[in-house]
Amino acid sequence: MLDRNPVSLRKGLASKMNCSSIGVRQTARSSSTTVAFRKHIVEGLQASLNRLDLEYVDIIYAHRPDRLTPMEETARAFNHVIDKGLAFY
């Protein structure tokens, strides 16, 4: 008998994030900006996971670059999400 559990049938699931600085306070790249940006990423992914009724996604990616946020900060935010187990890649 074929297992119809959606989690066991899926091949891979990705979630994209809009990493624009809208709504994130930009203050000369202060540490509070980094925390606010990371919080934006984490909360956005958690909202996506709740909508999908999942515990994690396989891939998370930024579909629109943010010119105001350094690439290193974006990479740190995504690495934080991966370390928390909300995404694999």
Q: What is the mean pLDDT of each run of 10 residues along the chain (89 residues)?
A: 49 66 47 69 90 90 79 89 93
| 7, part of any domain | no
Does residue 89 form part of some domain?
Answer: no
Q: Is the pTM of this model over 0.75?
A: no
1 within domain boundaries: no
Domain count of the chain?
1
In a domain, 4, yes or no: no
3-state secondary structure the chain: CCCCCHHHHCCCCEEEEECCCCCCCCCCCCHHHHHHHHHHHHHHHHHHHHHHCCCCECEEEEEECCCCCCHHHHHHHHHHHHHCCCECC
Residue range of the domain that includes 38:
12-20+27-83
**Residue 64 falls inside a structural domain:** yes
Residue 6 lies in a domain: no
